[in-house]
Structure 1
Amino acid sequence: MHAFLSPQMFSNNDEAVINKKLPKELLLRIFSFLDVVTLCRCAQVSRSWNVLALDGSNWQRIDLFDFQRDIEGRVVENISKRCGGFLRKLSLRGCLGVGDSALRTFAQNCRNIELLSLNGCTKITDSTCNSLSKFCPKLKHLDLASCTSITNLSLKALSEGCPLLEQLNISWCDQVTKDGIQALVRCCPGLKGLFLKGCTQLEDEALQHIGAHCPELVALNLQTCSQITDDGLITICRGCHRLQSLCVSGCANITDAILNALGQNCPRLRILEMARCSQLTDVGFTSLARNCHELEKMDLEECKMIRFSSSCLYLGFLVYVLCSLLQSLSHCELITDDGIRQLGSGPCAHDRLEVIELDNCPLITDASLEHLKTCHSLDRIELYDCQQITRAGIKRLRTHLPNIKVHAYFAPVTPPPSVGGSRQRFCRCCILL
């Protein structure tokens, strides 16, 4: 690019050689590959380049995250006037200075917008969604995460004016209730991604509306929606057969019934996050293992009833069909060496198990590391507060897996009685091997 912008090429401004040799159409095509900063620099070269660089066709996709501190409402208004109907994708993630007024001007000017991220734009209110509903009927992806002033009125407005909506993120918009969800899903049947993390007022009735009206749903995040129970999630499973990603971490009321419902109804499931769902047991994984052959990741942190013992009939099959099975088994206090043996015994585990977190698993010993030594794809293992794991066991594992990253914590040695009034300091030992 430096050669492209060499000073010799721009003598006499618009009479520069490059402007004479290359047609404007070709220059415009070249500019289409440049990022925002480079386009702005090109716009300062000459009058003709200013026109070409600021042509709306070069501004179809804009991400202003790197400039969020400098972005105010007037900047968004100017961009919208320059881009007009060309703009398809805009990210204002983290732009705290942008409010409803600027986004109304934006919506009026950029009526072909398809993807809009307002993640963390905390000044916006329901007024912005009213503007989007009125002027942006082609909107497909909308991110309103952490826009805490958003209420049910926003979802009702979007349902009326943005029927093509496919993905909506309203995480941490904790004023949203079942009424807003009902209005949204009834008029947006093509929803594929719905992210409701931290929407703490949602109950089972909201999930029943989703299950009844969102047959295309692929991803659903309900993390920390603590009021939901098996009843609501079973409705989701029965109505959303294309589901591939489900997060219910922190939903402490759910039980093995959900694992059975997923196994029976959602064969395309790839990602399952169930951290802190402490009522889950080995038994629930039987149906999941039998039918969900595309699983890639499970997070079972703090699922304290999980053992993965030999009593789980289909565990070997589960391991066989999974790729990068377990990102976390942290705080699974009933996991034993036998459970780890089951986990590491499947042929798929040998080639695909990449990460396993076993911190705060007090029953496992060095024998567990022996069971994992044939898992050649294992890249990282965490062993914090596993009191029966020793440095010698880790060393033996590394002889078989020399490139593995081992994060281990060993509790400090109990200090001996002080002699002669002197005190010895014993620091914690946290090692990365």
Structure 2
Amino acid sequence: MASGVPDEIVQSPGLASPASPTSSTGEIPLEHPPKLKGRKRLLQSLQRMSSSPSLARRTRSASTGYHRDGKASISCVSLGSTSYAACGSSSQLYPGLNVRPAASNDQRTTSPEGSARIRMVGPGSSPNVSQSMTVRLPADVRPASRGVQVENDKAEKVNEENEEETMVQPVVEPAMQPVDKPRFDFWKDMPDELKMRIFQYLTPQEIVRCSTVSKTWHEMCFDGQLWTSVDASEYYSRISSDSLVKILTSGGPFIRDLNLRGCIQLRDKWATEGETISAACRNLVNFSLEGCRIDKTSIHYFLLRNNRLEQVNLSGLPAVSNSAMKIIAQACPYLEMLNVSWCTNVNTKGLKKVVESCTRLRDLRAGEIQGFDDEEFMLRLFETNNLERLIMHRTDVTDDSLKVLVQGVEPEIDVLTGRPIVPPRKLKHLDLHHCSGLTDAGVRALAHNVPDLEGLQLSQCYELGDDSVIDVVRTTPRLTHLDLEDLDKLSNQALQEIARSPCAECFEHLNVSYCESLGDPGMLQLLKSCPNIRSIDMDNTRISDLSLMEASSRIRRRGYGDKLPKVGMRLVVFDCANVTWAGVREVLSSNCYIPRSRKNLATVITVTETTDPNMSTTCTAVAAAPTPQAPKTYPNEIIQLKCFYGWQMTVDEHTKRVLRGDLVSASRLDRKWADYMMVTEEAGAGGAGARRRRRRAREVERIYNADEGDGEALGIGGFGPIVGGARRRARSGGCVVM
């Protein structure tokens, strides 16, 4: 046993005990030394870890051999770390440890490889070593926290009590817990500017619904940035008065366009909340209260506190009076449009103040306002000459006042032409319909004085005839809209003059309804000379199927393309005695007509010649092969027709199919309706063959009702659903020659 012990280890004074002397044989008693605590125990556990190969030859357990003689050894390998890799001797670890050279003559410290004299580190081991001397553990095995240190202490205690283990297991540091990444709340962490941008894509109704989600959303939904434009005319019947007041008060400083048309639910709110609402809305530019039941005081508040108003619509408000016009003249210098039509308490005396003060006024709408027979007011309009739109329908305007508006008072007359020498008016739109005091003498004053006129309404001025209309049309090269409804004295000469006038190229809309003297001579000339005509109202006139056929021919000249068709002309011909179903059918056929040269299915003829070897003849084979599918062709524009109410359902269904590009189905409906109308006419005719015609009508109706319905909701003639679901078979129609 003694031969297996390595070189003699000097006993540490601190560990030598007089109560446990060594026997003569050199064996150490099997008593356990007192347990250490804290750092001492940690160092003790490190000392028991040895890498000396001589310990493997010991017959006793390693746990008892470490304390047999109270001596211990320490190895740098047990402190294995990159920071201690260069440790060659114990003197680099602890001061006071002396390493003797291998060539020393001391028999006790010599060994085959050489051995160092190592002193035991512990309390009282050397007087030169401080009692508080400690050793820093390497960084990779150093405990990271107090909790880890406690776990290490528990592990060491278990290892000490287990005597069967031959080697103390190293303490393994617990795995680091994964660090939770900060949770990103997409909506909460989003900037407020982006939130407002998202809310701007919602409709006002949706914004109000979103305001009930939470308090935060409530604040965002009623933020003024979302309510720069409030147009309640689209949802006035579906919003409560409290919500509307909330919007106006919270977003008032941001609102620029305010339209409260039809908001009658605010009738009880104006008395209590009127001043608050008007105080909040101070930056209005466009303001409309048409049809809103509001009191006079609230109107005055709005007008006084918004000096940037450019457009004001007070149409149909009985609370508006000349006092409101006075406020507008004083507080709204930037006014450009004013609508006071049907305001019974306003007259030209109040409008005169507005015209004098608001120099930017371009649009004045004053229908059913009294006082337009006042020549002084008309002279003021003549002097300013700023109006581009003047609406004074159903007023008391006379020939003399109209002359003052256009020519002024006692203008200078040109000797050669006999016309007054005055600056031309800037009027572009003039509405004089239902002014019963006007005659040809007054309307003729517009000639040569309104060269920029684009729209003129003279309907229901029963005293007007051809002379005044012809004079105005000849001198207005930019005229596009002309309304001459219910002029009994108008004749075809007026239509022919429109066709020859300079405005024929740009003319778009004509209304000659209830002009019972007009017929095909004037209408045909108009359709031929006006290529850009878009709308013609000619109900209750003498036009016939010829006008419808000419309109169909003109609309086909607008070309074909690969895009779905659109409505290019609107014709109103109901209650025209000379219009028959044949003319209506001509319009329907023209709407779904495609020229033969533009047909989608074309064929290629292939000619092959073969020679029979047994015969001296040559055979020629002709084969027709379809070309690859070409893009579909549609008419660029079609006619939308309003005709007799008994035919209108079929016409509307036909137009619907053409607009969605189903020309085949539209053509089939056209044919069925034409057959039905012919059979109906035969069945309704009297005479000896009436019974036979009625039988043929029933037979034709039975055949067509048995055909495939194609999913249409209307039957033949548009009078009911098609019964039967049989498959439609193709019919050649037979030989047309025989």
Q: TM-score, normalised by structure 1?
A: 0.80
257 and 34 in structure 1: CA distance in 2 versus 1, 3 angstrom threshold: farther
- Aligned pairs (5 A) from 1:396-407: 396-402=586-592, 403-407=638-642
Q: How much has 1:193 moved relative to structure 2? A: 1.5
Residue-by-residue CA offset, 1:376-432 (whole Å, 9 max, x unaligned): 175322223322233233334544455433333399x9x999xxxxxxxxxxxxx99
Confirm or deny that 1:229 pairs with 2:398: yes
Match of 2:345 among 165, 175, 188: 175
Equivalent-residue separation in structure 1 for 2:217 and 2:495 (angstroms):
72
Amino acid at match of 1:344: L
Match of 2:501 in 1: 317
24 and 229 in structure 1: CA distance in 2 versus 1, 3 angstrom threshold: same
Match of 2:386 in 1: 216
Q: How much has 1:314 moved relative to structure 2? A: 5.9
87 and 397 in structure 1: CA distance in 2 versus 1, 3 angstrom threshold: closer
Amino acid at match of 1:37: Q
Secondary structure at 2:315 match in 1: coil
- Aligned pairs (5 A) from 1:379-418: 379-402=569-592, 403-409=638-644
Residue-by-residue CA offset, 1:87-121 (whole Å, 9 max, x unaligned): 10111110113344344322222111111111101
Equivalent-residue separation in structure 2 for 1:322 and 1:257 (angstroms):
27
Per mean C-alpha deviation after superposition, the further-off stretch among 364-373 and 328-337 is 364-373
Per mean C-alpha deviation after superposition, the further-off stretch among 24-33 and 184-193 is 24-33
Checking the alignment, whether the CA contact within 8 Å between 2:398 and 2:442 is kept in structure 1 is: no
Equivalent-residue separation in structure 1 for 2:371 and 2:641 (angstroms):
41
33 and 401 in structure 1: CA distance in 2 versus 1, 3 angstrom threshold: closer
% identical equivalent positions: 26
Q: How much has 1:311 moved relative to structure 2? A: 9.3
53 and 410 in structure 1: CA distance in 2 versus 1, 3 angstrom threshold: closer
Per mean C-alpha deviation after superposition, the further-off stretch among 167-176 and 127-136 is 127-136
209 and 188 in structure 1: CA distance in 2 versus 1, 3 angstrom threshold: farther
Checking the alignment, whether the CA contact within 8 Å between 1:237 and 1:261 is kept in structure 2 is: yes
- Aligned pairs (5 A) from 1:214-293: 214-225=384-395, 227-238=396-407, 241-257=425-441, 259-293=443-477
Match of 1:302 in 2: 486
Confirm or deny that 1:81 pairs with 2:249: yes
Match of 1:158 in 2: 328
Equivalent-residue separation in structure 1 for 2:437 and 2:569 (angstroms):
34
Secondary structure at 1:268 match in 2: coil
- Aligned pairs (5 A) from 1:302-381: 302-309=486-493, 313=497, 315-318=499-502, 320-326=504-510, 328-346=511-529, 349-350=530-531, 352-361=532-541, 363-376=542-555, 379-381=569-571
Q: How much has 1:153 moved relative to structure 2? A: 1.6
Equivalent-residue separation in structure 2 for 1:58 and 1:240 (angstroms):
45
Checking the alignment, whether the CA contact within 8 Å between 1:295 and 1:321 is kept in structure 2 is: no
Per mean C-alpha deviation after superposition, the further-off stretch among 97-106 and 156-165 is 97-106
Checking the alignment, whether the CA contact within 8 Å between 2:473 and 2:479 is kept in structure 1 is: no
Match of 2:225 among 51, 57, 60: 57
Equivalent-residue separation in structure 2 for 1:181 and 1:311 (angstroms):
37
Equivalent-residue separation in structure 1 for 2:424 and 2:222 (angstroms):
44
Secondary structure at 1:30 match in 2: helix
Per mean C-alpha deviation after superposition, the further-off stretch among 264-273 and 238-247 is 238-247
Equivalent-residue separation in structure 2 for 1:147 and 1:71 (angstroms):
22
Higher relative CO (Cα under 8 Å, sequence separation at least 6) belongs to: 1
373 and 79 in structure 1: CA distance in 2 versus 1, 3 angstrom threshold: closer
Residue-by-residue CA offset, 1:165-204 (whole Å, 9 max, x unaligned): 1111112112211211112211112112221122255434
Q: TM-score, normalised by structure 2?
A: 0.49
Amino acid at match of 1:358: M
Per mean C-alpha deviation after superposition, the further-off stretch among 259-268 and 59-68 is 259-268
Amino acid at match of 2:500: G
Match of 2:275 in 1: 104
Equivalent-residue separation in structure 1 for 2:449 and 2:425 (angstroms):
6
Equivalent-residue separation in structure 2 for 1:295 and 1:105 (angstroms):
47
Checking the alignment, whether the CA contact within 8 Å between 1:200 and 1:224 is kept in structure 2 is: no
Secondary structure at 2:448 match in 1: helix
Checking the alignment, whether the CA contact within 8 Å between 1:55 and 1:83 is kept in structure 2 is: yes
Confirm or deny that 1:115 pairs with 2:115: no
Checking the alignment, whether the CA contact within 8 Å between 1:337 and 1:365 is kept in structure 2 is: yes
Alignment: residue pair count: 396
176 and 190 in structure 1: CA distance in 2 versus 1, 3 angstrom threshold: same
Per mean C-alpha deviation after superposition, the further-off stretch among 162-171 and 40-49 is 40-49
Secondary structure at 1:220 match in 2: strand
Equivalent-residue separation in structure 1 for 2:229 and 2:521 (angstroms):
52
- Consecutive unaligned residues in structure 1, runs of 5 or more: 1-14, 418-430
Per mean C-alpha deviation after superposition, the further-off stretch among 139-148 and 288-297 is 288-297
CA RMSD, aligned part only?
Answer: 3.2
Residue-by-residue CA offset, 1:284-341 (whole Å, 9 max, x unaligned): 2344333322222111110222223279656422562333231x21111221321112
Checking the alignment, whether the CA contact within 8 Å between 1:308 and 1:315 is kept in structure 2 is: no
Checking the alignment, whether the CA contact within 8 Å between 2:495 and 2:523 is kept in structure 1 is: no
95 and 240 in structure 1: CA distance in 2 versus 1, 3 angstrom threshold: farther
405 and 76 in structure 1: CA distance in 2 versus 1, 3 angstrom threshold: closer
Equivalent-residue separation in structure 2 for 1:344 and 1:22 (angstroms):
61
21 and 71 in structure 1: CA distance in 2 versus 1, 3 angstrom threshold: closer
217 and 249 in structure 1: CA distance in 2 versus 1, 3 angstrom threshold: same
Q: How much has 1:22 moved relative to structure 2? A: 2.1
Residue-by-residue CA offset, 1:201-258 (whole Å, 9 max, x unaligned): 5434475056236533222222211x11223333444588322222111112223345
Equivalent-residue separation in structure 1 for 2:351 and 2:573 (angstroms):
42
Match of 2:313 in 1: 143
Look at both structures and tell me which one has the larger radius of gyration over its CA atoms: 2
Equivalent-residue separation in structure 1 for 2:500 and 2:483 (angstroms):
18
269 and 113 in structure 1: CA distance in 2 versus 1, 3 angstrom threshold: same
